Chain A
Amino acid sequence: MSGEGRLGGRVLILGSIVASLLLVGAYLAAGGSSYEPKQIQDPCQPRPWSDPQTLAQIANQFTISALDGAACQLGVSRETLARALATPEARERFTERYGIDDEKLAKAVRAGLLRAVDDAEEAGALSPLLAAPLRRALEEIPLDQAIEIINDAQGFLGDVEGFLGPAKGIIEQLLPGGLGGLGLP
């Protein structure tokens, strides 16, 4: 047999081009070019708080701010640090891989916690009266306790509120100028 056969060669080629373009076009239109993992944010950039209402929501934002602050100091992503602090084994691998000693890690985690206090205060989730002593306490906190606070911010903030809450009420009553009279930031 010779010639074009029952179907022309050009028709076959054209059909192949159309079928290929239709498939690729449809997949691109359905988001095929952007189907990739979510891009993570630079921890040194501010991450606004989203008006937390409950203690659990405040604790969540507090943890994220603390991780951002610590990660920014260490030059790693917030996500990498979160995984590193999840278990002692993960922490050991992280410090080995990035050549970070416990002192440097402690300093970064403390800096992160201080940023979290600042962010919480700025968002109106933590009163200045609670924020000031909290900052002082966090400045010298040992590494393990600092990590514990990040891992259980809710428990920590609950304790702080429980311990300082009544004192806050008394001070508010005693000082005519309220908290502003203390000259706290």
Chain B
Amino acid sequence: MPESPRPRVAALALAVGLVLADSSIVVLALPEIYRELDTSISGVTWVLVSFNLVIALAAVPAALVARRVGPARTAAVGLAVFAGAGLACGLADELSTLILARCVQALGGAAAVTAALELLPATVGSERRSATVWAAAGATGAALGPAVGGLLTELVSWQSIFLIQVPVALVAAVPILSVARDEAATGIIETEVRRTGKPHLWANLALAMVSAAIAAALFLLVLLLIEGWRLSPIEAALVVSVMPLAAIIGSRLTDLVSDSRSRAAAGAILVSGGLAGLAFLPKATIVLTLPPQILVGIGLALVLSALTETALHGRSPQAIHGGWTISSRHAGVVIGLLALTPIFTADIEQQRHDAIDAGTAVILDSSVNPLLKIDVAERVSERLEEEQGKVPTIGPAFEPKPVDPVERSEVEQLQGELQDQLDRGATHAFSTSFILAALLGLIALFPIALSRRVDL
């Protein structure tokens, strides 16, 4: 009886989803890592940047190795390296160790993902079907990543994000090992694939620009929610889950419009529109982040699929061109993070000072009894000292509340006004970065316009 391809397809999809989730899974854990490893925002950004940078650099060489050494063996070794490095990430107690382990993890991940694209056509029966499975697995992983990361960070620890990847990677490697044994027994059979076309410059360039905007959207929004608005990782995970949910809706639109260039342009506009919406939030309220997230989500589904299709259309071997798309996307993530991190880090610091000054002005100008006011001011100052460098939680500074109903009402009003100033500062701190990310999305329209139209 012939062996069913399902476990192998599932294993390959799991491998792709796991690796591509890793690009974003750690986003919600960054504030926790930032606090626990006592580093800076710029420093902790490298936990993301290093992984994406190495994947960007290693994707195409990994695809070449997979074709030369054998895709199953490459995928199996890649997953083993990914698992081992994941273990090292989970045990890291210093930022430098964590970043180094992330680099090694990315090397293994790049090998597994590109080799999977080489293995899938034989497993599922066609190149087009394999591209669909590969893209869907990657999108699912990237979509679920932040939510899973947020849940694990809050329920267990940030280390658990990496430790849990170890058994998952090994489970994915098992069915691939049997193919690897066949490869070893029979030798490498170079698939006779006609090499068609150079990498699609404009589509890959647009992918990089759009990915930079999307990465910035996710990273900035998570920081705004956790560091600015003081949400827990689980709460933040729930909020940012709107983006992948909207992406699922957006993927339905893909079937309605066959022209990939129009879909790409519409997607880039929606991503930029959503980011501009986040830049001009009129209040620090979660509900107001939802419409921009919906636009970004629908936009990313349209633009990523359209540009990937354009980049792969009529080109062979798929693994190499798939490698180029992966490389472009992750390079874009790196560009987005590296370009925006210094800007929003400086803005956060400036806005923190402005918000604290504004909050102090609110306390001084309030009608609360001076003695009570001084008491509150001292406790707020203590909160500032306790949370050096961060936007403070001021609730405890107002406890216990006065018994007198008039004084109590005045103190509650003061607390509300003070919180409002801090929220304004935290929200405004991200505005410039969101605007710049929106511009990156709009810049992608130029290469999209230059890419040729593909009807699928």
Contacts and interface: CB of A to CB of B under 8 A. Distances in A.
A150 B420 CA distance: 27
In this complex, the member of A23, A33, A56, A77 whose beta carbon has the largest number of chain B beta carbons within 10 angstroms is A23
B365 interface: yes
Interface string B356-393: 11111111110101110110011001101100000000
A2 interface: yes
Interface in A143-179: 151-155
Contacts of A63: 364, 370
Interface of A: 1-10, 12-13, 15-17, 19-21, 23-24, 27-28, 30-33, 35-41, 56-57, 59-60, 63-64, 67, 77-80, 82-83, 86-87, 89-90, 151-155
Interface stretch (B108-116, B263-271, B338-346): B263-271
Chain B interface category by residue count: 35 or more
A35 B428 CA distance: 7
B393 to A, nearest CB: 17
B69 interface: no
B425 A1 contact: no
A35 B354 CA distance: 13
Contact of A24 (B256, B277, B456): B277
Nearest to B381: A86
B10 interface: no
A33 B373 CA distance: 31
Contacts, number: 173
Contact of A13 (B266, B274, B280, B358): B266
Contacts of B360: 79-80, 82-83
B381 A9 contact: no
A159 to B, nearest CB: 14
Contacts of B55: none
A3 B454 CA distance: 10
B249 interface: no
Contacts of A83: 356, 360, 377, 381, 384
Interface of B: 253, 255-259, 261-263, 265-267, 269-270, 272-274, 276-277, 279-283, 288, 291-292, 295, 299, 302, 351, 354-365, 367, 369-371, 373-374, 377-378, 381-382, 384-385, 421, 424-425, 427-428, 455-456
A22 to B, nearest CB: 9
B438 to A, nearest CB: 9
22 contacts: A3-B455, A4-B258, A6-B256, A7-B257, A8-B262, A12-B262, A15-B266, A19-B295, A27-B288, A35-B283, A37-B355, A37-B428, A57-B367, A60-B367, A77-B357, A79-B356, A79-B357, A79-B361, A83-B356, A86-B374, A152-B370, A152-B371
